[in-house]
């Protein structure tokens, strides 16, 4: 509920900010202040290409478009130091926070240092402007306050990380809760005498990467939403690794889980293809057996997924302790005998 409210407020703020910058751009263009109009248009572009403005904007090419608008805004604001209007340089006060929100911390730090150096150099040479030294003092003070806010935000994020139930990128349940929840479901299944299965879903390409590239990371929110649409209300799914998800299916036998895993695999394959990504998906299934605990059941599904990927990927594989190989099926699919 809190995350929904936060997204709602950010969405409304984004729309209001867009309207403001569009009005500023139009009025400045009418009155001949072209640099200010271009800066306002660039700011509007940053907003409209952001995920707060509309869901789905975290997928390529929107992040790249947003960074291009940001680079254009930086160039326009730095140009205002030498060409005017001087008042436009006050927009730099909020540029540091925007930089740390849009790009990596290292790049944002570099941008901040470059802006400070160029701003001080421009103020030194702008002898015709009486309040240039006051502006630089206020600018440096704003930089320090921004640094404090960024530090406090990172500190709060680290403090709340153990309490976060869902993965922020995919909205899947966090892996820290996986073992405990899986243990509870196993106990319930054994107590009620019902079946239970789990599915491991993994992207075949870059399966060993610890840090997926930006294009793959951009599609992960879509994958999370797709998985959510494919499960029942009482099923749960987790982000088990950077490119792997685990789905817990209470009351589902292995054969039925294989059918559902195939539906998920083909659906994700179509999703990736629709976004121009040359990636395939494999799934590994494990059913609950006598003597299984959370670790052994998880490991069985992981072994099945690994076996599917080792055989070329783009297939479904059910775990079997007796049979080390799979029977190949059309379209590079496979399942355990």
Shared domain check, 180 and 114: no
Helices (H) and strands (E) in the chain, counts: 10, 7
Average confidence (pLDDT) over 179-193: 92
Does 170 map to a domain? no
Shared domain check, 239 and 266: yes
Does 110 map to a domain? yes
How many domains, the chain? 2
**Quick one: what percent of the chain has pLDDT higher than 70?**
80
Q: For residues 168 and 32, which has the higher predicted lDDT (pLDDT)? A: 32
Does 36 map to a domain? yes
CA quadruple 49, 53, 58, 59: dihedral sign: negative
Structural domain of 253: 175-335
Q: Quote the pLDDT of residue 299.
A: 94
Least confident segment among 2-16, 88-102, 116-130, 226-240: 2-16
Average confidence (pLDDT) over 270-297: 91
Average confidence (pLDDT) over 29-41: 91
Shared domain check, 99 and 71: yes
Contact 182, 227 (CB under 8 A): no
Shared domain check, 329 and 188: yes
Residue 169 pLDDT class (50, 70, 90 cuts): confident
Shared domain check, 309 and 204: yes
Closest-CA residue to 284 (of 268, 256, 262): 262
Residue after which a domain boundary falls, among 137, 162, 187: 162
CA dihedral defined by 101, 104, 105, 109, rounded to 10 degrees? Answer: -90
Task: Say which residue the tokens 């299934």 belong to.
Answer: 285
Contact 293, 312 (CB under 8 A): no
Average confidence (pLDDT) over 260-273: 93
Q: Quote the pLDDT of residue 322.
A: 47
Does 23 map to a domain? yes
Does 168 map to a domain? no
Shared domain check, 15 and 132: yes
Helix (H, G, I), strand (E, B) or coil at 178: helix
Find the CATH number of the domain harbouring 325.
Answer: 3.30.70.270
Task: Name 240's Cβ contacts closer than 8 Å, sequence gap at least 6.
Answer: 175, 178, 200, 246, 298
Closest-CA residue to 85 (of 34, 151, 150): 34
Write phi, then psi, for 236 (nearest 5 degrees): -135, 150
Average confidence (pLDDT) over 114-118: 83
Shared domain check, 154 and 71: yes
Q: For residues 336 and 82, which has the higher predicted lDDT (pLDDT)? A: 82
Q: For residues 195 and 138, which has the higher predicted lDDT (pLDDT)? A: 195
Task: Name 41's Cβ contacts closer than 8 Å, sequence gap at least 6.
Answer: 21, 25
The partner residues of 285 in beta bridges, in order of sequence, read 199, 318
Contact 78, 125 (CB under 8 A): no
Report the C-alpha gap between 237 and 96 in whole angstroms.
37
Closest-CA residue to 81 (of 72, 91, 68, 71): 91
Helix intervals (H) in the chain: 2-30, 34-48, 62-83, 95-102, 105-125, 132-160, 178-192, 214-230, 254-274, 294-310
**Token reading at 100:** 């740390």
Shared domain check, 208 and 281: yes
Q: Quote the pLDDT of residue 56.
A: 67
pLDDT at residue 186 above 70?
yes
Q: Quote the pLDDT of residue 335.
A: 45
Least confident segment among 14-28, 64-78, 166-180, 295-309: 166-180
**pTM assigned to the model:** 0.53
Helix (H, G, I), strand (E, B) or coil at 196: strand
Shared domain check, 215 and 116: no
pLDDT at residue 266 above 90?
yes
Ordered DSSP codes for 156-170: HHHHHGGG--B-TTT
Shared domain check, 153 and 85: yes
Residue 42 exposed, middle or buried by CB count within 10 Å (0-12, 13-18, 19+) = buried
Average confidence (pLDDT) over 245-273: 94
Residue 69 pLDDT class (50, 70, 90 cuts): very high
Shared domain check, 117 and 233: no
Residue after which a domain boundary falls, among 117, 141, 162: 162
pLDDT at residue 265 above 90?
yes
Shared domain check, 294 and 223: yes
């Amino acid at each position: 509920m809190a995350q929904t409210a936060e997204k709602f407020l950010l969405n409304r703020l984004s729309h209001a900010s867009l309207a403001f910058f569009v009005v500023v751009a139009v009025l400045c263009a009418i009155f001949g202040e072209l640099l200010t109009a271009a800066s306002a248009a660039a700011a509007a572009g940053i907003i409209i290409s952001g995920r707060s403005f509309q869901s789905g904007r975290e997928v390529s090419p929107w992040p790249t478009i947003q960074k291009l608008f940001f680079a254009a805004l930086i160039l326009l604001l730095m140009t205002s130091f030498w060409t005017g209007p001087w008042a436009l340089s006050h927009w730099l006060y909020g540029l540091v926070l925007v930089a740390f929100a849009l790009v990596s911390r290292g790049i944002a730090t570099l941008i901040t240092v470059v802006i400070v150096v160029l701003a001080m150099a421009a103020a030194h040479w702008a002898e015709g402007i009486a309040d240039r030294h006051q502006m630089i003092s206020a600018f440096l003070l704003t930089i320090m306050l921004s640094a404090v806010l960024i530090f406090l935000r990172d500190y709060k994020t680290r403090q709340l990380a153990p309490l976060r139930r869902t993965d922020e990128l995919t909205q899947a349940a966090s892996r820290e809760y996986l073992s405990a929840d899986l243990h509870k479901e196993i106990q319930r299944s054994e107590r009620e005498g019902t079946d239970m299965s789990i599915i491991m879903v993994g992207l075949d390409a870059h399966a060993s990467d610890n840090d997926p590239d930006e294009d793959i990371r951009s599609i992960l929110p879509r994958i999370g939403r797709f998985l959510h649409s494919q499960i029942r209300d009482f099923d749960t799914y987790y982000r088990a690794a950077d490119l792997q998800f685990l789905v817990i299916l209470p009351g589902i036998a292995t054969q039925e889980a294989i059918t559902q895993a195939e539906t998920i695999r083909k659906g994700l394959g179509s999703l990736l293809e629709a976004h121009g990504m040359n990636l395939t998906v494999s799934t590994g299934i494990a059913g609950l057996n006598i003597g299984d605990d959370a670790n052994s059941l998880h490991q069985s599904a992981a072994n099945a997924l690994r076996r599917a990927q080792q055989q070329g990927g783009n297939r479904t594989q059910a775990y079997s302790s007796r049979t080390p190989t799979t029977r190949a099926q059309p379209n590079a699919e496979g399942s355990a005998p």
